[in-house]
Amino acid sequence: MGSTELRERIAELVGEATGGEVSVADVLAGGSMIALGVDSLGLLRLVDAIELEYGVEVELNGPGRPLDTLDDLVALLAAADVAQDASDQR
């Protein structure tokens, strides 16, 4: 799974976490998740989905760089090398 595929999958997870209220296209266009309309429940659902799918722990307000954009989440997962791990599992 390459970076583009990872971005698209995370954008899909955002859409699913918000019950379709935030579109994949809007997420891919960039910007803050909050500005796009992802509420606190949507963020919790998104974190849960990412943790389940990729096996990494996500702390949106943890120490270090905040995780508020698609690029932030992709960078976190890339640092955890999940793109390669996901390909290996398929």
The answer on pLDDT for 84 being more than 80 is no
The answer on pLDDT for 87 being more than 50 is no
Give the global pTM. Answer: 0.83
Domain count, the chain: 1
Q: Which residue has the tokens 């995780």?
A: 67
Q: What is the CATH number of the domain that holds 14?
A: 1.10.1200
Q: Which residue has the tokens 């909050």?
A: 34
The 3-state DSSP class for residue 47 equals helix
pLDDT at 20: 95
Domain hosting 15: range is 3-89
Please write the tens of the pLDDT for every residue from 14-70.
999 999 999 999 999 999 999 999 999 999 999 999 999 999 988 877 776 678 899
How many C-beta atoms lie closer than 10 Å to residue 39's C-beta? 14
